[in-house]
Amino acid sequence: MFGLFVLFLAGCGKQGGMPHGGFAVSVVAAPVKEERIEEKISLVGTLVANETVEIKNQVAGVIEQIGFEEGQTVKKGQMLFMIDAHKLNATLAQTEANLSMAQTTFDRLSSLISAGAISQQEFDQAKSDLEVNKAKIDLIKAQLAETVLPASFDGVMGERKVSVGQFVEQGTTLSYLISQDPIKAEFRTPERFLGQLKEGQSIQVTVAAYPDDIFDGDVYFIDPQVEEQTRTALIKAKLPNSEGKLRQGMFANLDLLVNVRSKALTIPEEALIPKGDEVYVFAVDSESKAQIKPVKVGIRLAGKAEILEGLSAGENVIVEGYQKVGPGSPVKMKDNSSETTESNSTENSVK
């Protein structure tokens, strides 16, 4: 033990040690605290709408009616655009007349074919004409249905790109519809963290537009493959967004909660005495004497460190003045008055 004491005095580069005459050395001490630690990975990502579609027309025509305002919330099934259907209705009426004539001709020839009064070719042609007109009617009715473009889900309308009275070719982008509640956060995480991730894991997001707000969500997708070039995997999370603050395309800072220890032991970081690959502290025993102890350090926090082995909750460690003591030195403890008040929950972000 004496050799270890000498080692520490040399390592600290101080003169002194055990005070003469056994006088107690005044030191500042702090208790080993038991508290909650949340270990997090800090990442960056992008916010993506839960659902988004471009509204495109499937039939060409003139825009007859628009059923929304830009930025308006719409419900599934609500009419968004209506295309003039007059020409299609006229074509339908003409085709229905042709179908009636084809049906009459087919019925008449059906009675004649059995009597051998007409050729099989004539009968087959009449039958084909009937089927063609039926198919034309089905097609026109489908096109008529496509002249009304409804919302495919609840969401918010984007920019309107056409006006009433404008002729649009088939496949023109008329607007877009997005659903942002919930909203998705997409980010890539290094492969070394994949063992700490699982579906349902909590995530916290901040955005530049609302720097004081924290948005909570949960991981729902972990890509089963890792991108070879970056050695990262795509992770997706969903966040409630009932107030609509979060928007598609926003840059997001994410804190991914990977571990929670509700009864972790922590001490002020200044109590640690590193020596090579090992770390020590001076603890004060029940007889008010300094005793040197090796400790195993976990994660480093803001101004403090987690202790995995070597100390127990309630023990006192010297944070100031340990250069003046050695193993077995009598000490007089003072409170660590410079220590700021801390919350019961301590968070750690691993970059």
DSSP calls for 273-340:
EEETTEEEEEEE-TTSBEEEEEEEEEEEETTEEEEEES--TT-EEEEESGGG--TT-BEEEEE-TTPP
Q: What is the CATH number of the domain that holds 281?
A: 2.40.420.20
In this structure, the chain runs to a length of: 351
Amino acid at 146: E
Whether 303 and 156 map to the same domain: the answer is: no
Whether 244 and 322 map to the same domain: the answer is: no
State how far the Cα of 161 lies from the Cα of 159, in Å rounded to an integer.
6
Compute the radius of gyration of the chain from its Cα atoms.
39
Element housing 84 (H / E): none
Which residue segment(s) compose the domain that 138 sits in?
Answer: 86-144
Whether 240 and 289 map to the same domain: the answer is: no
Cβ 113 vs Cβ 95: under 8 Å = no
Point out the residues of the chain with pLDDT beneath 70.
1-22, 335-351
| Whole-number pLDDT of residue 2 | 40
Helix, strand, coil percentages in the chain from 3-state DSSP, rounded to 5: 25, 45, 30
Domain boundary among 260, 284, 302: 260
pLDDT in tens, 45-99: 999 999 999 999 999 999 999 999 999 999 999 999 999 999 999 999 999 998 8
Q: What is the model's pTM?
A: 0.61
Q: How many domains does the chain have?
A: 4
| Whole-number pLDDT of residue 111 | 78
Beta-carbon contacts of residue 233 (< 8 Å; ≥ 6 apart): 188, 189, 191, 194, 222, 223, 225, 226, 227
pLDDT in tens, 120-165: 888 888 889 889 999 999 999 999 999 999 999 999 999 999 999 9
| Whole-number pLDDT of residue 260 | 79
Whether 66 and 28 map to the same domain: the answer is: no
Q: What is the CATH number of the domain that holds 68?
A: 2.40.50.100
Q: Which token pair is 119?
A: 């050729």
Provide the terminal-to-terminal Cα distance of the chain, rounded to the nearest Å.
Answer: 39
| Whole-number pLDDT of residue 80 | 97
Whether 47 and 186 map to the same domain: the answer is: yes
Q: What is the CATH number of the domain that holds 92?
A: 1.10.287.470
